[in-house]
Structures are given as structure tokens and as C-alpha cells.
Chains A and B, each alone.
Chain A
Amino acid sequence: GEDVEQSLFLSVREGDSSVINCTYTDSSSTYLYWYKQEPGAGLQLLTYIFSNMDMKQDQRLTVLLNKKDKHLSLRIADTQTGDSAIYFCAESNRGYGGATNKLIFGTGTLLAVQP
């Protein structure tokens, strides 16, 4: 079955860049997502990338996709203390006829930003 893995913890200093990595196994993944979860809260969609793209940039966020290696990364430039949260990658595929499939979430990476 599908499997999505992430490292559990990342600590960076304020102002540095953070890179959170994710690997997945489903080669039919069509969409890959990054979500942010703050303590006791739901998930906030940060960005997503289609599988036919290599890179997507959105302000401080850069997503890199290596489809061959099934590796996804999220880079946060100029990391701030407000970026401290758990970051989940997720993948889904679009079934035949455009029907959308479920999201498979990674294990989550706790990002701790030191002032």
C-alpha cells in the first residue's frame, strides 16, 4: 500500500532556512501537498505541487519534487518562530475520469525554531 515517510524533528535558528523532507512510495501520486498543524489545531494547506512539476515557489516556500526518487521537500526561507509547528506531507492520486482519491499523510515533522 501507499506509504509516506518524514523525519520526526527539525530544529533551526530564526532567520535560517528550513528544509523538511518527505518520501513516498505510490508512483501514481498526482498531487503532493504540504500542510501545517499548530498545537491543538486543524491542518492548514501551505502549498501543493502537481506530479508533472519539479519545483514550485510561493513567497518563502519552495517545494522540490524528484519524481524518479519519489522525494518531496519543503524549504522555508527566513524561518520565523511563528513557523514552529508540525508539517505534514500528503499525496493523492486522481482516479480515472477525474475522481479524486483520498489523502495519504506522512508521519509529520516537528519544526522547532529557536530565537
Chain B
Amino acid sequence: GAVVSQHPSWVICKSGTSVKIECRSLDFQATTMFWYRQFPKQSLMLMATSNEGSKATYEQGVEKDKFLINHASLTLSTLTVTSAHPEDSSFYICSARGRQGGNEQYFGPGTRLTVT
């Protein structure tokens, strides 16, 4: 149980285009989803926290107009990188926390974004 998937697993796009990444909780309802970014050989940095049906809360320094987050249902959150640039190339990981509460976050496998 507690499986989180991400799609796509990797994507290459041209500079200036937008890319959407999906995060799904497959066997539980996720009231809260988190989006992280991980640069090579670095730790995970939280970008934003999204609760189902409400606006995401962004961490300091993360542009909300560039990284659009939608959490329209209890099993799906999307992250759209708008007008992507090469410096946005990174590994994006989502995690989800269930309706039952507790403190555990279940992580997706990540999406490798490369902007050329």
C-alpha cells in the first residue's frame, strides 16, 4: 500500500516551453502533497505544499507563477514548469500524506526534467 506514482519519469523540452508533471496516490487519498526539487548531488529542497482544494503554499524563493501547482483531487497533484529554462533542469519529486494523518510522507519515483 501507499504507492505514489509520477508521470513522466523523464522529459526533455526546449527552452521557453511548459512542462506538466503529474503525481498520483494510487491506493490512498492524499490530503496533502509536497513537491521537492533535487539538483545533482544535492539534497531535496521543498518547493511547495498543496492541500486538496486550496492554493499551494510556496517556500521562500520559489516563484509561484513559474511553478504552477494544482491539487484538484485527493489522488492527483500537478506541477507545471512554465517557460522552462536550462536552470530549471532538475529532478522533481513529489510526496503525499494520507487522510488518516500521521506524519509519514510517501514519495514518488521522481521526474527528471532536462531543458535544452
Tell me whether B82 is interfacial, beta carbon within 8 Å: no
Interface segment among A37-45, A60-68, A74-82: the answer is A37-45
Nearest-neighbour CB distance to chain A for B94, whole angstroms, equals: 9
CB–CB B93/A43 < 8 A: yes
CB–CB B109/A92 < 8 A: no
Tell me whether B1 is interfacial, beta carbon within 8 Å: no
Interface set, chain B 82-116, CB cutoff 8 A to A: 93, 95, 97, 101-110, 112
Main secondary structure of the interface of A (DSSP, over half): strand
Tell me whether B13 is interfacial, beta carbon within 8 Å: no
CB–CB A98/B49 < 8 A: no
Query: Known interface pairs A100-B97, A102-B34, A102-B49. Does A43 touch B44 (Cβ–Cβ under 8 Å)?
Result: yes
Nearest-neighbour CB distance to chain A for B58, whole angstroms, equals: 12
Q: Please give the number of chain A residues whose Cβ is less than 8 angstroms from any Cβ of chain B in the complex.
A: 22
Chain B interface extent, by class: 20 to 34
Q: B68 to chain A: which residues have CB within 8 Å?
A: none
Query: Known interface pairs A42-B110, A108-B43. Does A100 touch B103 (Cβ–Cβ under 8 Å)?
Result: yes
CB–CB B107/A42 < 8 A: yes
CB–CB A42/B43 < 8 A: no
Beyond A30-B103, A35-B107, A88-B44, 10 additional contacts (C-beta under 8 Å) are: A41-B109, A42-B108, A43-B95, A45-B104, A88-B43, A100-B32, A102-B34, A103-B34, A104-B46, A108-B42
Chain B interfacial positions (CB closer than 8 Å to A): 4, 6, 32, 34, 42-46, 49, 93, 95, 97, 101-110, 112
